[in-house]
Amino acid sequence: MPAVHALVVHGTVRDDRAQRAGRHPDYCKRYGPSLARLSAADPSIYAGEKLARLLALWERTPDANEVTACMAWRDRRLAALKAHKRAQAAN
């Protein structure tokens, strides 16, 4: 999943205006471990070069076309998930 899509799908940090530029690393440090437990991801994804890459993306606001494209991508993925779950239930 492209990083910009992640911001739309998991937009809490991106949309929370209280989390200004200098506070994102602190947010990731505080909530990264709990987010990792929720997603069963390795907490190291919230550190180092990966964190720097995410922060660089957050420093700019996606334009309307990017947001529309991300929303369409999300909707297609959710529709595919729903179809998959329906097929699994039928088996």
pLDDT in tens, the chain (91 residues): 444 444 444 444 444 454 455 666 777 788 878 877 777 767 777 788 888 887 887 777 788 998 899 999 999 999 999 999 999 988 8
Give the Å distances, CA to CA, from 51 to 24, 48, 69, 91. Answer: 9, 5, 24, 41
pTM: 0.40
- Give me the count of residues in the chain: 91
CA-to-CA distance for 91 and 86, rounded, in angstroms?
Answer: 9
CA-to-CA distance for 37 and 43, rounded, in angstroms?
Answer: 8
Domain with 69, as residue range(s), is 3-90
Residues 6+ away with beta carbon under 8 Å from 24? 13, 54, 55, 58
For the chain, what is the largest distance between any 2 Cα atoms, rounded to a whole number of angstroms?
50
Number of domains, the chain: 1
